[in-house]
Chain A
């Protein structure tokens, strides 16, 4: 199967048709839900929290964050960033509770220092490795993202980023950028090595 990351940038790939396909596919919904729950398990939040959702898309993960019962220390309030207007439009149609921002995480994370209890990112940051114009480099985008993310988390805040690296080189590039920004990074592999769940903390 070809990787969507190899063909088009994310704001063009996820047009109205792709955004709807992604959101209504029950296979993707299930995978997304499973990974969101796994991320929450890793975050182990002790109280209802303010969470940044990086690459929130149509809000599939966010919806889960909004409905965690108080017996499991929820519900959480979330702010989602995404570069695809079509994905965000789909989120609007689905009337999600979190706030949505149209933003390119490769340009940084526009929040003041110490804003969030935690951050999650499900299947998004591999898109950062694509530099779509000659003016920007993948390394520059990765480092702006991780530096901004690190600063936006409160002291002791954790980020769980699940991503699909294309190859070993990409994986090393992403974890290298995270560590350089100050994260203590660990990589967990779930699901036969195809799905890589990566936990970063500091």
Chain B
């Protein structure tokens, strides 16, 4: 699972819908893999305004990556700085969680990730 995906995923439990603590999910005991994906700057420009930057800072630090700048780069900054664009591409798209858990900060539910696939099936009483 890509870090980009984690930045959009929320806890699926009904009672967590209204809680801000249910996002982002917190990676626990995660193994990471790196997958080579062709650069796609137009995609990054398109999704960046929708990336929750504060959540990305949290995720990056939980996964043990260097601290991100406090503010997201602008499109102009990315156009001018190939290195920054490359790093963002690596973090968002190429860095992937292959095994581990994603834990909700509100209800504590843990979603298992196996071979990169997160299990979001819930027992009926939590839906």
Contacts and interface: CB of A to CB of B under 8 A. Distances in A.
B42 interface: yes
Given A101-B118, A102-B121, A49 B12 contact: no
B63 to A, nearest CB: 16
A104 B121 contact: yes
Interface of B: 1-2, 4-5, 8-12, 14, 23, 37-38, 40, 42-43, 45-47, 50, 52, 93, 96, 115-122, 124, 127
Given A110-B12, A111-B8, A100 B46 contact: no
B118 A75 contact: no
B23 A102 contact: no
A110 B120 contact: yes
Interface residues of A, number: 34
Contacts of B50: 50, 114-115, 154
Given A47-B42, A111-B8, A144-B127, A100 B117 contact: yes
5 contacts: A70-B42, A77-B47, A99-B96, A104-B122, A117-B46
Contacts of A2: none
A193 to B, nearest CB: 35
Nearest to B6: A99
A29 interface: no
A9 interface: no
Interface string A111-146: 110111100000000000000010110000000100
A48 interface: yes
Nearest to A103: B120
A88 interface: yes
A92 B43 contact: no
A111 B10 contact: yes
Given A111-B10, A112-B52, A47 B23 contact: no
Interface in A121-180: 133, 135-136, 144, 154
